[in-house]
Amino acid sequence: MASYIMFVLSLIPRESKAQAPWLWQSPLPRGNHLRAVQTINHDLIFAVGDQGTILKSTNGGGRWSVLNPETTRNLRGVCFTDTKIGIAVGEWGTVRRTTDGGIGWLSQPLGTTATMHGVAFVSPSVGTIVGDSGLILRTTDGGQNWIRQYGGPLSTLYSVSFDDPQNGTITGSRGTILRTTNGGGKWNRLVSGTDLSLFGASFPDSNTGTAVGELGTILRTENGGESWTLQASGTRNRLSTVSFSDATTGTIGGDNGLLLRTIDAGRTWIAQPSGTTAWFTAVSFADSVVGTAVGSYGETYMTNDGGAAWILRTPGERRPLHAVEFIDALRGMAVGHTGKILRTSDGGNSWLSQVSGTTVDLNGISFVDASTAVAVGWENTIVRTTDAGTSWTVLKYPTSIGSVLTFSGIRFGPSGIGLVVGKKDTSLPFPLVILMRSSDKGVTWTRILDTERGWLKAVGFSSITTATAVGDSGDIFRTTNGGLVWSRIPSGTRASLFAVSFCSPDVGVVVGGNGTVLRTTNGGVTWGPRPSWTVNSLRGIAFADSNIGYAVGDSMTVLRTLDGGSTWEHQSGGSYSTFFAVSFIDSDHGTIVGEGGAILSSMIPGSPVSVGKTTSRPTHAALAQNYPNPFNPRTAISYQLSAISDVTLRIYDVLGRQVAELDNGIRNPGTQTVHWNASAIASGVYFYRLRAGSFVETRKMLLVR
């Protein structure tokens, strides 16, 4: 019984305290889903989302800073009563409060582990939080104490909003609508006329209001909620948010990039072009003109005309990336959805989209040498470059009539032998494994195996001639002669296996569904299970050296091993996106890719890391080590420029979240020194990054109390 309890407790999401030095490279400022936004004025905006994301803009969405709320919980709601005082709420009873505009955040315990979905304050002291199981909490002392209120039957409450200091609305599952007329002191249940979930409501005045929900539901009232009328939406998409900018003009946001607009107080709604298929979770207006919409994968949109037109302010690739590989510390490629290929030549500081020549999904990529790489995907597709990714040739592998090949993984070994794995679909009710081999740098491919039942997902070399392929239903195949002959190896599991990596000729790890981790110490002859302490599927694995390795997977899970895969520790997770692949070129340079175009770069604690070491970098630009270091609580950071440059100098914690921005603007040549007072920041390791034109450099410092 004791071991069972320990296992259950290990699966409860917890806030990561271990160092997880991953920085977002794309999309920027980060690609976590955003769940709520508040547009305070034309310049100041706050948005919150998954994995403790809090974004702040002070120039109308043109540039965003990542704040540090000292939590990795998913945040669902945010409310500021002025430019300084605000509260963010989220999963597991998380409440964070700031009194300095987001520089520092303090935890305010609620005494519950329920998810809090919404928060609204009518003054700096009086506010309401709503969440799961009909939970309504009210404070009259700025959040120091919270009093539970009756919310009726145990429905999930998704939103709370006030149209003035007295009148407010709560919406929830099963058509729940609650209304207050005394600032949240008491809530009365209204008859909505629907059993569908309602996710948001907005009242431009105390009588006229609109509520939105699942299956395109729009309800409207003209008598303060006493009765509601179903309005035509023209969609079956989920509608997540509604906000009115004035008495007659409002905007609804929903799934698949849906934005609806009314100019007649909600009587009719017209779809607005958004240019995205992302789902919108929140819309907020500062006044009748300026508003913000946020949603999946960190997308933020701004309007300056009351919602008639919306402009994306956080651009970046949002299509899923399925695989990534680097040939050295600077040059790498990532491939993904609809033939997407991205290429970097500066260590991931920037990624350029390449013309792949195909629109099918690409699932794997591998370098043969510095110039030659091959990517594989669906519908018999192989694409190849011989000029380091500048141009690509599509090779449609021939197959028999009535069969279609799907290539899931590719790997070139130390001797130049290439292996491709996947499946063959035929008239049979099950797929057959595909295993192909190339000895001419991927120009031609020979089919080695296509009669075994199954679907192989990945392949990896442990030596010049020995390789292992893994796939569905616990399938493991092994070769000892460069891929000419393969043998099936018992795995001891029926879980799907998605990735394999070796840290030495003898030691390797396979990862798969439901947190499966298998390890070998004899080159893949036998495999045994290792605990991962997660039930999330693991989809990628890579070793930085003979001991340090990383596994990534669903819910943005990142696991780390320091002993060659024998034991694993949890670094991050809990979001609603997936990491598909991870690649390491050495112990200092790692990259993760995943859903929403996510690209994250590692910054391993140790020696100062320099990113973007290209020949075009200014020869006399430099970033000095801070002094003193370690420090408490003040330190000085100096840098020098050889030319007039657009400079940013920012501080990040080990989770890659921006803690402070010390410098931002055009600076003249010469030496600059800035000072950082970290008196409101917790002890720990921090990184400071200088950007000056094409020059980028990052260093580490230690704050000790």
407 pLDDT more than 90: yes
Within-domain flag for 56: yes
The vertex-170 CA angle with 168 and 174, nearest 5°, equals 155
Task: Give CA–CA dist 138/422, Å, rounded.
Answer: 56
Q: Do 637 and 673 share a domain, yes or no?
A: yes
Q: For residue 615, what pLDDT band results from cuts at 50, 70 and 90?
A: very low
Place of tokens 């305290």: 17
Q: Do 555 and 690 share a domain, yes or no?
A: no
Give the CATH number of the domain where residue 189 resides: 2.130.10.10
Q: CB neighbours of 6 closer than 8 A, spacing ≥ 6?
A: none
Within-domain flag for 366: no
Pull the structure tokens for residue 584: 């390491």
pLDDT (average), residues 278-293:
94
Do strands 695-703 and 497-502 pair parallel, antiparallel, or not at all (unpaired)? unpaired
- Which of 312, 327, 362 is the endpoint of a domain? 312
Q: What b/e sequence results for 562-571 when a residue is b if at least 16 CB atoms lie within 10 Å of its CB, and e otherwise?
A: eebbeebebb
Do strands 75-80 and 670-677 pair parallel, antiparallel, or not at all (unpaired)? unpaired
Pull the structure tokens for residue 642: 């050889």
pLDDT above 70 coverage of the chain, percent: 93
What domain range includes position 650?
609-703
pTM of the model: 0.80
Nearest to 576 by CA among 596, 590, 561, 604: 596
Q: Do 127 and 234 share a domain, yes or no?
A: yes
Task: Give CA–CA dist 296/304, Å, rounded.
Answer: 22
pLDDT (average), residues 314-333:
92
For 335-386, the pLDDT digits (tens) are: 999 999 999 988 888 899 999 999 999 999 999 999 999 999 999 999 999 9
Q: Do 594 and 691 share a domain, yes or no?
A: no
Within-domain flag for 320: no
Q: Do 509 and 636 share a domain, yes or no?
A: no
Q: Do 160 and 247 share a domain, yes or no?
A: yes
5 pLDDT more than 80: no
Q: For residue 10, what pLDDT band results from cuts at 50, 70 and 90?
A: very low
How many domains is the chain partitioned into structurally?
A: 3
Give φ, ψ of 163 to 5 degrees.
-90, -15
pLDDT (average), residues 406-414:
95
Q: CB neighbours of 48 closer than 8 A, spacing ≥ 6?
A: 34, 35, 36, 37, 54, 55, 75, 76, 77, 78, 88, 90
Give the CATH number of the domain where residue 630 resides: 2.60.40.2550
Q: Do 652 and 512 share a domain, yes or no?
A: no
Q: Do 192 and 65 share a domain, yes or no?
A: yes
pLDDT at position 151:
66
Cis (ω within 30 of 0) for the bond into 630? yes
Q: Do 516 and 613 share a domain, yes or no?
A: no
Nearest to 200 by CA among 209, 190, 208: 209
- Which of 270, 293, 312 is the endpoint of a domain? 312
DSSP state of 101: T
Q: Do 135 and 244 share a domain, yes or no?
A: yes
Q: CB neighbours of 358 closer than 8 A, spacing ≥ 6?
A: 339, 377, 381, 383, 394
Within-domain flag for 43: yes
CB contact at 8 A, 542 and 584: yes
Within-domain flag for 387: no
pLDDT at position 352:
92
Do strands 634-641 and 670-677 pair parallel, antiparallel, or not at all (unpaired)? antiparallel
Within-domain flag for 5: no
pLDDT (average), residues 302-314:
93
Within-domain flag for 230: yes
Q: For residue 159, what pLDDT band results from cuts at 50, 70 and 90?
A: very high
pLDDT at position 401:
67
- Which of 269, 290, 312 is the endpoint of a domain? 312
Q: Do 542 and 681 share a domain, yes or no?
A: no
Within-domain flag for 249: yes
Q: Do 546 and 686 share a domain, yes or no?
A: no
Nearest to 286 by CA among 248, 245, 340: 245
